[in-house]
Structure 1
């Protein structure tokens, strides 16, 4: 999975042969485990989604919801950065299959609203959609060279905390 992610990071249309070489296995061995490129990409995406879920689980008990949001942004961006080309190459057709992890984010936002650290004047699911959209936008900005990958966690943290802050609180 790591070899597939690396190869897809470098080139979205990478061949099964190239992935097999990067994984130091034969193409036949690769085909023994995966019926084709689509199955391999789906498995690699599953692997990336599991890494994202694990990153969330690792930070989900940090403290108040706004503190968890900061930890989530920082850990998720590292995961997204590692798998961003794989995710962007497959995300359009795969969102329904894998979800977007938004169920966990939505629960975190609802928790933050209940704690009084996130705004309550906008629907929880809307704030969750905003979260996802802004993270996707950050990934695109990195891809086109307008943001440095190492700057993104702080930028996301600042942007999303301001977006989620209750009225009159911006940081």
Structure 2
């Protein structure tokens, strides 16, 4: 599947910041730190994604059950953030112009929302391409410069750990979570 969206603005984009999850972080509740040197990149991403998805489900359940929403979310829904892992030479979303971004089949239903998030981040014309090979495998093998690793809550995206040798961009799928540009 390939989808194209053209960016209307040509203003340069500052790359979204990254935040890491440390072993001491109370949100870390699985074995060794996801960025442990004894794990492959794929294992690190799988572990980090599992934790982030669990955090997202917990936040959504708490919101539905009437608990105080996480990260100021509305009482009805927690907006999602696309966690995109990119090769180290990619300085910003804008640098993905006319590139293929790998996406797993399980996220393909959200490809339109992801494309809108890329454009909202002042991103370029990109192609989201799903395939039989996992998106992270395609990134690690050098087939693509970027891969959508997860669609998770705001807090889960912020807690997603750094992956050594790669950069992480957070692309909110809702415009109300975008930070105003100076």
The structure with the largest strand share of the pair is 2
TM-score (norm 2): 0.28
Asked which structure has the greater RCO (Cα within 8 Å, sep 6+), the reply is 2
